[in-house]
Amino acid sequence: MDETGGGLKNGIVYKVIAAATDGSQAAREAVRHAAVLAKVCSASLRVVYVVNIHISFHLGTYQQMALDILEQEGKKAVDEALKIAKEIGVQDVKGSVLSGNPRQCIVSWAKEEGADLIVLGSHGYSRIGALMLGSVADYVVHNAPCSVLLVRP
């Protein structure tokens, strides 16, 4: 740890680490990586789940029900991520559930949170089968306001 209260010995300083989850095993592993880094760096950890509203548009009259289910799934995934982080010993951890295009939401959310690093699973599927990461990871790598760490399953 350095005198700024965060970072690693080689001068790399992470003060805010952001992790995206979709509730999949790959995403849980990415959260684990993010939490360990946050603990080592004495950094804050921010976790997000993005409800992909584009999926529900194709469901017609079931749209609101689908959004409610996806939001519940998101809260569950974020709660699980927060639990992992707390078990690892991260002191400052917060979670959010957002709605929109996952690719764009993750990038703008990380910017708003002041993230120094974004940690993502290289790809994953939520328990209800909606693709979240993959093309999302590619977009984030190319558009993020900070460094991105992709965790392979």
- Angstrom distance (rounded) from CA 119 to CA 129: 21
Distance from C-alpha of 51 to C-alpha of 98, rounded to nearest angstrom: 6
pLDDT of residue 34: 98
Q: Answer whether residue 126 shows pLDDT above 50.
A: no
CATH class of 16-151: alpha beta
pLDDT tens by residue, 16-38: 999 999 999 989 999 999 999 99
What was the pLDDT predicted at 70?
Answer: 87
Query: Which residue intervals of the chain are DSSP H helices?
Result: 25-41, 53-56, 63-88, 102-113, 135-143
Q: Is the pLDDT of residue 45 over 60?
A: yes
Residue 6 has a pLDDT of 55
What residues does each domain of the chain span? 16-151
β-pair type (44-52, 147-151): unpaired
What's the pLDDT score for residue 63?
74
Characterize the bridge pairing of strands 131-133 and 124-125.
Answer: antiparallel
